[in-house]
């Protein structure tokens, strides 16, 4: 079956689909060579890179070369608020962003497009979505971003500064191009094609390279950006692209914010996390304890193991032990789930504590860019 992936629709059913996307999108795999190059600079590698959850890129190899030659870059990513709160999958790009910011001490720009999901008809209540925009900004800041180097902006609030560049950008992209990349059909709102320009504008915030960690579904925006960047005397977008997390229901299901049985939310407490994992997380274990001990389990289809391997078990040796123990049936499903719940909670507790302490104004004050960080002349 053919995979279908656009920013508004994601349909992935196997690792094979991910490989096909690499060809379809014309991106490259993140391979050992690239990771070694990065490690030479950073000293170590974040678990999301080591385990290849970020698995593809466009131009990251070039960027590292340029960086070694003294060129700089900035980081840009975003999150479109929707009709419900964020789940752990939504945080993934921001976790990598924090790591990159720590390592490279670069500026980070985070766009919160409160219009996108409304225009895509993924939410029906714009005012509610706006409220989530602020909640999401707070959640994102709580991964530990440096307030002195991070600017989070909500499109409808910051539009005064986005609109002029968007005027120029929108003129450079035809409906034909937009359709080719995004495949809009006739029922799409006229908001969406214009929105493309708003997501491209922040790639021009600085003269250096924009580095964009995001889900691979976002790549189409930046493909269009690369076609026009040079006209604006700006650098082409560099992307590092991730896979999608599995929902609790099983391999390649979606963690959907509108289905609490599929997702663990950022504000879930320990009891809830544990309950959801014990009750709903799809298991690769044997049908009965006896069978499990006899024939072993299948870590490759087990949602708890998936989550440990993507993010929550950073220790490679420990992960290997768990994998082998589970496969042999020495570790039971109950034990694996219990351990996963603890690891997830360790992470969430920290986020929740940070979240309470965040001074959002430090991240969102809109004079910030205008003063020292943002000094650009938009010439065409
Ligand atoms: N379109 C993204 C979403 O649906 C939000 C977003 C805005 C974004 N700007 C971005 C994502 C830049 C990656 C990079 O959530």
- What pLDDT shows up at residue 6? 78
Q: What is the CATH number of the domain that holds 20?
A: 3.40.50.620
More confident residue, 7 or 73: 73
Q: SS3 for 246-257, per residue?
A: ECCCCCCCECCC
- What pLDDT shows up at residue 11? 87
In a domain, 224, yes or no: yes
Q: pLDDT exceeding 90 applies to what percent of the chain?
A: 86
In a domain, 16, yes or no: yes
Mean pLDDT of 336-347: 98
Whole-number Å distance, alpha carbon 239 to ligand 1 midpoint, is: 12
Residue 244, pLDDT above cutoff 80: yes
- Pick from 90, 138, 131, 120: nearest CA to 265: 90
- For ligand 1, whether the C-beta of 48 sits within 6 Å is no
Q: Could you tell me the residue range of the domain that residue 114 belongs to?
A: 4-247
- What pLDDT shows up at residue 373? 41
In a domain, 118, yes or no: yes
In a domain, 181, yes or no: yes
In a domain, 377, yes or no: no
- Pick from 119, 67, 76, 82: nearest CA to 254: 82
In a domain, 319, yes or no: no
- For ligand 1, whether the C-beta of 107 sits within 6 Å is no
β-strands 238-242, 9-11: how paired? unpaired
Considering the chain, what is the average pLDDT of its residues? 93
Residue with the smallest CA separation from ligand 1 atom 4 is 80
In a domain, 100, yes or no: yes
Mean pLDDT of 322-349: 98
Name every residue whose Cβ is closer than 8 Å to that of residue 108 and which is 6 or more positions away in sequence: 74, 75, 76, 77, 97, 101, 145, 146, 149, 150, 151
Q: With beta carbons less than 8 A apart as the criterion, state whether 246 and 18 touch.
A: no
Domain count, the chain: 1
Condensed to tens digits (0 to 9), the pLDDT of residues 125-181 reads 999 999 999 999 999 999 999 999 999 999 999 998 888 889 999 999 999 999 999
Q: Residue 177: in which H helix or E strand, if any?
A: helix 175-182
- For ligand 1, whether the C-beta of 17 sits within 6 Å is no
Phi-psi region of 105 (alpha: psi -120 to 50; beta: other; left: phi over 0): left
- What pLDDT shows up at residue 3? 52
In a domain, 236, yes or no: yes
Which ligand 1 atom sits nearest the alpha carbon of residue 80?
15
List strands edge to edge, sheet with 108-112: 28-29, 54-58, 238-242, 209-215, 73-78, 108-112, 150-154
Condensed to tens digits (0 to 9), the pLDDT of residues 8-60 reads 777 899 999 999 999 999 999 999 999 999 999 999 999 999 999 999 999 99
Condensed to tens digits (0 to 9), the pLDDT of residues 72-90 reads 999 999 999 998 899 999 9
């Amino acid at each position: 079956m053919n995979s279908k992936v656009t920013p508004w629709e994601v349909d992935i059913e196997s690792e094979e689909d991910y490989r096909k996307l690499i060809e379809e999108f014309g991106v490259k795999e993140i391979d050992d060579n690239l990771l070694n190059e990065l490690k030479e600079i950073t000293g170590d590698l974040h678990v999301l890179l080591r385990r290849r959850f970020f698995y593809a890129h466009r131009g990251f190899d070039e960027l590292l070369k340029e960086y070694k030659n003294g060129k700089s870059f900035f980081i840009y990513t975003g999150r479109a608020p929707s009709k419900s709160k964020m789940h752990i999958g939504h945080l993934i790009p921001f976790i990598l962003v924090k790591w990159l910011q720590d390592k490279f001490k670069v500026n980070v720009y985070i766009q919160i497009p409160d219009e996108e999901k409304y225009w895509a008809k993924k939410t029906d209540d714009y005012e509610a979505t706006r409220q989530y925009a602020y909640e999401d900004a707070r959640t994102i800041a709580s991964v530990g971003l440096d307030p002195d180097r991070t600017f989070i902006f909500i499109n409808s609030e910051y539009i005064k500064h986005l609109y002029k560049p968007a005027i120029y950008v929108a003129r450079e992209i035809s409906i034909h191009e937009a359709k080719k990349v995004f495949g809009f059909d006739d029922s799409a709102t006229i908001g969406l094609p214009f929105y493309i320009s708003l997501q491209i504008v922040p790639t021009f915030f600085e003269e250096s390279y924009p580095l964009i960690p995001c889900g691979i579904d976002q790549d189409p925006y930046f493909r269009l950006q690369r076609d026009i960047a040079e006209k604006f005397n700006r650098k082409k977008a560099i992307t590092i692209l991730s896979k999608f997390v599995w929902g609790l229901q099983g391999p390649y299901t979606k963690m959907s914010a509108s289905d609490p049985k599929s997702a663990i939310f950022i504000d879930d407490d320990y009891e809830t996390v544990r309950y959801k994992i014990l009750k709903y997380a799809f298991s690769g274990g044997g049908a009965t304890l006896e069978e499990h001990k006899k024939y072993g389990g299948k870590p490759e289809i087990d949602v708890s193991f998936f989550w440990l391997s993507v993010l929550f078990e950073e220790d490679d040796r420990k992960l290997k032990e768990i994998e082998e123990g589970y496969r042999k049936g020495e570790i039971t499903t109950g034990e694996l789930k219990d351990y996963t719940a603890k690891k997830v909670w360790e992470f969430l507790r920290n986020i929740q504590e940070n979240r309470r302490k965040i001074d959002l104004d430090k991240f969102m004050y809109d004079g910030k860019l205008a003063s020292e960080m943002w000094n650009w002349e938009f010439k065409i």
